[in-house]
Structure 1
Amino acid sequence: MEIMLTGEGGPEMLQVTSGDGPQPGKGEVRVRVLASGVSFAEVQMLRRRYPMQPRFPFVPGYDLVGEVSAVGAGVTGVRVGQRVAAMTRTGAWRTHVVVPARSVVPVPAELDSGVAAAVVMNGVTAYQLVHDVARVRPGQTVLVHGASGGVGTLLVQLAVRAGARVLGTASESKHDLVRSLGAEPIDYRAGSVPAAVRALAPGGVAAVFDHVGGQSLPDSYSVLADNGILINYGSASTLRDDGHWLKPYFGTIRRLGTWWLARLLGRARGRRATFYYVKSGAAFTTALTEIFKLVEAGTITPSIAKRLPLTEASTALRLLVEGKTSGKIVLDA
């Protein structure tokens, strides 16, 4: 079984079909999917707004946790029956998936598959943003946009764990969740976010984690303290754009380039701005392994909004489109 995205539109464009993954080739493993995540990337794919998405029709699904059911020639270090996680970007919303053996990460035996799936892409993103890109230190103040979301809730927890004071934007109905994670909530619908940030942190913030992009970036940059960093790791605002999917990114590149030049010329007070995207490889494996340890130990807890059967993927996407959930939606295969 697989979930096929048949064309541009809404969640109704998803169809349950009888297709299945092939047998593994050289260097590959076949995984029986146990759980997979639902992300904003799939919402963008519905509208044909996600960078370099496949042509319709295709099977979405950014990440998965499953059990290895077959291994291809030349595969070592991965065995049949082993539970693993992988980031696929697309293709995870089916009962069996074939992935490169080098891309799978072992899942601890005591960790629930759905909980593990909630931190594959989201957890690595948050971990790398906090520790590798921003390098958050004790005593700093940081701003997390979308603090009630799948990545945002993990960003808040990891930044708090690193010793930072965290400000987090969210709609008012989600402020209790943001507070429970250790952050100070800001209602992004109740006026100027930069003004609210400056009221709480007059000297600015050491880092801003911005998943919105577009017109949000100048506001985020404006609240940076000296030597602060703005990290743009998403493009949620592109859902409101028309035309070619690349068009909004030209504006982002132009802004980042302008700020880079200002810093080079000594006119930026040491502030910098960068773009981040999660990618597979050794660093991904290291970060996910560490995230699994933190979750297993109860040090951080992924916020799971809802768990639904894979066959209800359209319902999951509809909930995400409507913005009525907090945290991650997980599909159980």
Structure 2
Amino acid sequence: MNATTATIRATEVVLPGVVEPEGLQVQVRELPAPGEGQVVLRMEATGVCFAEQQMRLGKYYDQPAFPFVPGYDLVGTVVAVGEGVDPALRHHRFAAVTKVGAWASHLVLEAADLVPVPDDVESDAAETVVVNGVTAWQMMYRTAKVKRGDTIVVLGANGGVGSTLVQLARHAGIKVIGTASPRHHDAVRELGATPVDYRDPAMYAKIRELAPEGVDAVFDHVGGAGLQESWKLLRRGGTLVNYGSAATKDEPGNAMLPVLKLYGRLLLWNFLPNGKGAGFYNFWAGKRFRTATFRARLRDDLTQVLRLVGSGVLKAQVAARIPLSEAASALTLAESRTVLGKVVIVPEP
């Protein structure tokens, strides 16, 4: 038997219901031994993304019933393996996308969901590009299919996905216009984008001045009323990629209604006779019915992104490193919209 006989006690952060960040709870429990095809991963870095912010409000599609342990992705070391898993995986680092459960010191995962992390990439650096990097990579190359010489717009160019999009695009020879608050404009310029103030009422007009013939793609995580303006920025043949509805995060009522309206609008725009395209990016597309294909695609894309981090092409944007027991502070900081990059949660000192 490969599974360890030692008991592993996991410290977990629990989201008990719709609460303020300080309402998060910390618990300790004994983990079950890993089953067939499973491993126990000791967390070395996890983080806060927009999904956890939505989950706190009960507004993330398909989130579990309260209470549950949030945490969308992580990097960690295998400390135990179950039947059918190569014992050589022990003591090696891997990344995984979990959707929930990663805000824990240890967790049980399917070995098939693990992606190796190169030795030359630090765990916190790798964590910043697990879900963010795969999202940016797939939106660029699998959805919008942008190419060298194109011009794109990235809304929220200072965020986790946005800053990765900017760097990937510049590496590929693509011009980037990125929106951000003025406090982040220097950082956005350093990444290689031309910054525009997202709070400026004339933001879209200023983008049109920078790209009077239109742009080849717009990456919009905001949704809401501004989606129509993002659509208008496109030239013929351009693509609007929406991957969220941040504008409606705090709206009361059914969490899915704004998303369904958004999805319907994007679908209808594809039938307009103007040569433009629009789509809603879903990270989990194909997971349920084509699990092997989903895993292979995720492994391939994340491996490419991690190589770019290791080579220095992608600079990890770590906004802060906060211990697991202070996850409430990490969530508060991420929700403040004042940071550049990703807030990373690390083990206790």
What TM bracket, shorter-length normalisation? over 0.9
Structure 2 counterparts to residues 274-293 of structure 1, below 5 A = 274-279=279-284, 280-293=294-307
Matches within 5 A, 1:194-233: 194-233=204-243
Residue by residue, what CA displacement relative to the aligned partner does 1:12-61 show, whole Å, maximum 9, x if unpaired? 12111112532211111111111112111111111111111111110000
Which string of whole-angstrom CA distances, capped at 9 and with x for unpartnered residues, describes residues 279-329 of structure 1?
Answer: 351111001111111101101112111011111110011011111211111
Amino acid at match of 2:46: S
- Paired position in structure 2 for 1:296: 310
What CA deviation, in whole Å up to 9, does each residue of 1:51-77 have, x standing for no partner?
111111100000011111111112248
Map of 2:341 onto structure 1: 327
Q: Contact 2:154/2:179 (CA < 8 Å) preserved in 1?
A: yes
TM-score, scaled to structure 1:
0.96
Q: Gaps (5+ residues) in structure 2?
A: 1-10, 285-293
Correspondence for 1:188 among 180, 194, 198: 198
Query: Aligned match of 1:42 in 38, 52, 66?
Result: 52
Distance 2:338 2:266 in 1: 32
Deviates more, 1:143-152 or 1:74-83: 74-83
TM-superposed deviation, 1:232: 0.5
Report the residue type matching 1:214 in the other structure.
G
2:181 aligned with 1:171, yes or no?
A: yes
Map of 1:130 onto structure 2: 140
Query: Which stretch shifts more, 136-145 or 236-245?
Result: 236-245
Maintained 8 Å contact 2:334/2:342: no
Residue in structure 2 matched with residue 273 of structure 1 by the alignment:
278
Q: Counterpart in 1 of 2:29?
A: 19
SS in 1 for 2:338: coil
Which AA in structure 1 matches 2:308?
L
Aligned counterparts of 2:59 and 2:141: Cα–Cα separation in 1: 29
Question: Which residue, out of 28, 51, 56, partners 2:61?
Answer: 51
Give the counterpart of 2:78 among 68, 74, 77.
Answer: 68
- What SS does the corresponding residue of 2:270 show, helix, strand or coil? helix
SS in 2 for 1:89: coil
Displacement of 1:113 after TM fit? 0.8
Match of 2:131 in 1: 121
Q: What secondary structure is seen at the aligned counterpart in 1 of 2:299?
A: helix
1-side partners of 2:246 and 2:32: how far apart? 34
Q: For structure 1, which runs of at least 5 residues remain unmatched after alignment? A: none
Tell me the equivalent position of 1:241.
251
Q: 8 Å contact 1:78–1:101 — kept in the other structure?
A: no
Candidates 85, 99, 118, aligned match of 2:109: 99
Q: Cα distance 1:107–1:81, how it changes in 2: closer, same or farther (>3 A)?
A: same
Judge conservation of contact 1:214–1:251 (CA < 8 Å) in 2.
no
Q: Structure 1 pair 213/22, CA: closer, same or farther in 2 (3 Å)?
A: farther
Tell me, in whole angstroms, the C-alpha distance in 2 between the residues paired with 1:2 and 1:300: 31
Q: Which residue identity does 1:273 align to in structure 2? A: A
| Contact 2:81–2:87 under 8 Å retained in 1 | no
- Mapped partners of 1:188, 1:213: distance in 2: 14
The two structures have a TM-score, normalised by structure 2, of: 0.91
Q: Deviations over 1:186-242 (max 9, x none)?
A: 101111322111111001100000111222211110100110000011221221321
Note closer, same or farther for the CA distance 1:277–1:77 as it changes in structure 2 (3 Å cut): farther
Give the 3-state SS of the residue equivalent to 1:60 in structure 2: coil
Which one of the candidate residues 321, 341, 345 is aligned to 1:307?
A: 321
Please give the root-mean-square deviation of Cα atoms over the aligned residues, in Å: 1.3
Alignment partner of 1:261: what SS?
Answer: coil
Question: Displacement of 1:256 after TM fit?
Answer: 1.3
Q: Secondary structure at the match of 1:240?
A: coil
How high is the sequence identity, in percent, across the aligned residues? 47
